[in-house]
Amino acid sequence: MEKVGVAVNSKNQESKATSTITIKGFMSLLMKSVDENGDGSKRVISLGMGDPTLTTYFPISNVAEKAVAEALQSHRFRGYAPTAGLPQARIAIAEYLSRDLPYQLSSDDVYITCGCTQAIDVSVAMLARPGANIILPRPGFPLYELSASFRGVEVRHYDLLPEKGWEVDLDAVEALADQNTVALVIINPGNPCGNVYSYHHLEKIAETAKRVGTIVIADEVYGHLAFAGKPFVPMGVFGSIVPVLTLGSFSKRWIVPGWRLGWFVTNDPSGTFRNPKVDERFKKYFDLLGGPATFIQAAVPQIIEHTEKVFFKKTIDNLRHVADICCKELKDIPYIICPYKPEGSMAMMVKLNLSLLEDISDDIDFCFKLAKEESVIILPDPVALVEGLKRVKSFCERHARKWSMTTE
């Protein structure tokens, strides 16, 4: 898999590390640990970054490459794009997303962003107000907390339930929500848990959000990257039940995270977001932002229309293969438990059994010592993945409590 996350227990208790550090920030700290403490005898293997371009195992689509090159070489897209995005790109994204919906999106529903990262920040900024709170998943993606902290929005966490395939704890959501709750965030396919929500569970999420009087922010940056037989269902399918803000990008499905092509989409057939004041707020806020390069946006219609299904199938097959490798290798590491085999995205969550390890205080301590001693940072290709997990096993055995070694 692309990312392996660790938790001290199934509820991923807050660690001593700040909750507002980003994954990139934490990775930088781990790399610093390798640089300062490593002896250079082992190549660094990163199992922790959501960048599929770090290995040739996930190639780019020739169609995407050609479309961008043609747009650039045409010399027609050297100027600024409209702040909400090029019209032709917005139309193409609206049509692409509408394929999976029971209603048709219009280009006015689509705002183009610099990757899903900017879409996350836009969604939080648009909803921020004095006293507001936002309900986030735990485990989750830390950028939401970081953005909320900058906007003065209170963060409340609901737990994902590993025994139920990392489903949302809907009872907890109802208990957490109040009149100041501005949104419920879900991530599907899951990051970092690798789960894929069923149609039925998503419908229950929509009904719960409606009942507590809030909207849903659906982070679908890994949309369609489902490989275990359970189909990806966009949250926008339930837009008639509750308004949905869908966040997504080209980054993962097209293997081009560096192109920074994302979107912020209003899935709202009932028209809640079409309120003139809300619409004006969206437009004015996007006037403050800079979107992706104009020539990248210009390539979007060609990329969406002409990318062949075989390209997507190859990515899915490769993800399934590395997920199988992860699960197989982890079975040989008794100190680490995989509570749920990943079904999608490029990540998985595992549980540390600290009772079997000595001089390891928590998951943060584990990650830093692993980086220092084994130069492994918890998207390699399958060969590096196997080697990386074997080093994890060696590390665990080196730190195993003596009685646990004798009882295995």
**Amino acid 361: pLDDT:** 84
pLDDT at 38 over 90: no
Work out the mean pLDDT of the chain and round it to a whole number: 87
* Domain-wise residue ranges, the chain: 3-58+310-407, 81-306
Q: What's the rounded mean pLDDT across residues 301-307? A: 99
Q: Does domain 81-306 have CATH number 3.40.640.10?
A: yes
pLDDT at 34 over 70: no
Share of the chain above pLDDT 70, in %: 83
Q: Which amino acid is at 384?
A: A
**Amino acid 26: pLDDT:** 59
The CATH class given to the 3-58+310-407 domain equals: alpha beta
**Amino acid 269: pLDDT:** 95
C-alpha distances out from residue 29 to 4, 141, 191, Å: 17, 18, 21
Angle at 334 between CA 142 and CA 369, to 5 degrees: 50
The CB density around residue 286, as the number of other CB atoms within 10 Å, is 20
CB 158 within 8 A of CB 150: no
**Residue pLDDT, tens place only, 39-78:** 566 666 666 666 788 778 899 999 999 999 999 999 999 9
Q: How confident is the model at residue 131 (pLDDT cuts 50, 70, 90)?
A: very high
Give SS3 for 5. Answer: strand
Q: Which residue intervals of 75-230 are DSSP H helices?
A: 87-98, 115-127, 143-151, 170-176, 199-212
Please tell me if the domain spanning 3-58+310-407 has the same topology as the one spanning 81-306: no
Which span out of 38-47, 174-183, 267-276 was modeled with the highest average pLDDT?
174-183
**Amino acid 367: pLDDT:** 80
pLDDT at 105 over 90: yes
Q: How confident is the model at residue 379 (pLDDT cuts 50, 70, 90)?
A: very low
Separation of alpha carbons 211 and 170, rounded Å: 11
Q: What token pair was written down for 314?
A: 């190859």
Q: How confident is the model at residue 149 (pLDDT cuts 50, 70, 90)?
A: very high
Q: What's the rounded mean pLDDT across residues 122-144? A: 95
Which span out of 162-166, 356-360, 368-372 was modeled with the highest average pLDDT?
162-166
CB 297 within 8 A of CB 81: yes
Q: How confident is the model at residue 83 (pLDDT cuts 50, 70, 90)?
A: very high
* H-run or E-run covering 45: strand 45-46
Half-sphere exposure of residue 262: CA atoms within 13 angstroms, side-chain side: 26
Half-sphere exposure of residue 31: CA atoms within 13 angstroms, side-chain side: 11
User: ω before 52 within 30° of 0 (cis)?
Assistant: no
C-alpha distances out from residue 272 to 109, 234, 241, Å: 12, 19, 11
pLDDT at 304 over 50: yes
The CB density around residue 40, as the number of other CB atoms within 10 Å, is 9
pLDDT at 27 over 70: no
DSSP 350-390: EEE-GGGBSS--SHHHHHHHHHHHH-EE----HHHHHHHHH
**Amino acid 104: pLDDT:** 98
pLDDT at 330 over 50: yes
Separation of alpha carbons 156 and 175, rounded Å: 11
Q: Strand runs (DSSP E) across 193-276, as ranges? A: 215-219, 244-249, 261-267
Q: How confident is the model at residue 36 (pLDDT cuts 50, 70, 90)?
A: low
**Amino acid 30: pLDDT:** 61
Q: What's the rounded mean pLDDT across residues 105-111? A: 97
